[in-house]
Amino acid sequence: MEIRSGCPINLSVEVLGDRWSLVVLRDMMFGNFRTYRELHGNSLEGIATNILAARLRHLEAQGFISAAADPSHKQRTIYSLTEKAIALVPVMVALGSWGVRYQPAEPTFAARSIALERGGAAMAEAFMAELRHLHLGAPAPARSVLAELNAAYETAVAERG
């Protein structure tokens, strides 16, 4: 990869600035989708199969995810977030908050972002601890932020009727 400048924002955009990388990481973080089939089948934005395959290869090559054979299914790969990807949680929180504030975010989808913003740094840290447990085998945290975020989403869905 050719580096255009040493600016940290440019360097970040060069590895994450395409249309799909952050969306794939979002789905792995917030949806806990770990296989190609889960990622493709649950894509809200309808990612094409060839694009998903290319993004997974890119994210693995850049050290954001790792891939391992599924011991229960020979043809399935399990993708895991690395510490490098988990460290993006505060960035994802900020992007979600910005999207809620300045874009026409659909209220049910905005619920998780709003909950994370309201939860502040402590909730983001707890979410990162939970992701470390799910993806890196760290000890299980006492708090399940994923459960809290899913509850916020379900509440928003129920309120919309």
Question: pLDDT tens digits, residue range 36-55?
Answer: 999 999 999 999 999 999 99
Average pLDDT over residues 114-119: 98
The structural domain count of the chain equals: 2
> For residue 8, what pLDDT is reported?
95
**Domain annotation covers residue 151:** yes
* Residues 27, 86: Cα–Cα separation, whole Å: 13
> For residue 161, what pLDDT is reported?
79
Average model confidence (pLDDT) across the chain: 96
Quick one: 51 and 23 in the same domain?
Answer: yes
Q: How far is CA 127 from CA 24, 95, 135, in A?
A: 17, 16, 12
Query: CA-based angle 98:114:132, to the nearest 5?
Result: 95
- Whether residue 124 has pLDDT greater than 80: yes
- Whether residue 60 has pLDDT greater than 80: yes
Quick one: 103 and 135 in the same domain?
Answer: yes
Position 153 confidence tier, pLDDT thresholds 50, 70, 90: very high
Residue 132 belongs to domain spanning: 88-160
Last residue of a domain, one of 81, 99, 133: 81
Q: For residue 13, give the CATH number of its domain.
A: 1.10.10.10
Q: What pTM did the predictor assign?
A: 0.94
**Domain annotation covers residue 3:** no
**Domain annotation covers residue 120:** yes
Last residue of a domain, one of 62, 81, 100: 81
- Asked if 39 contacts 33 with a C-beta cutoff of 8 angstroms, the reply is yes
Quick one: 102 and 122 in the same domain?
Answer: yes
Q: 95-122: string of b/e by CB count within 10 Å (b at 16+)?
A: ebbeebeeeebeebebbbbbbbbebeee
> For residue 36, what pLDDT is reported?
98
> For residue 1, what pLDDT is reported?
66
* Residues 63, 21: Cα–Cα separation, whole Å: 12
Last residue of a domain, one of 51, 81, 111: 81
Quick one: 102 and 58 in the same domain?
Answer: no
Position 74 confidence tier, pLDDT thresholds 50, 70, 90: confident
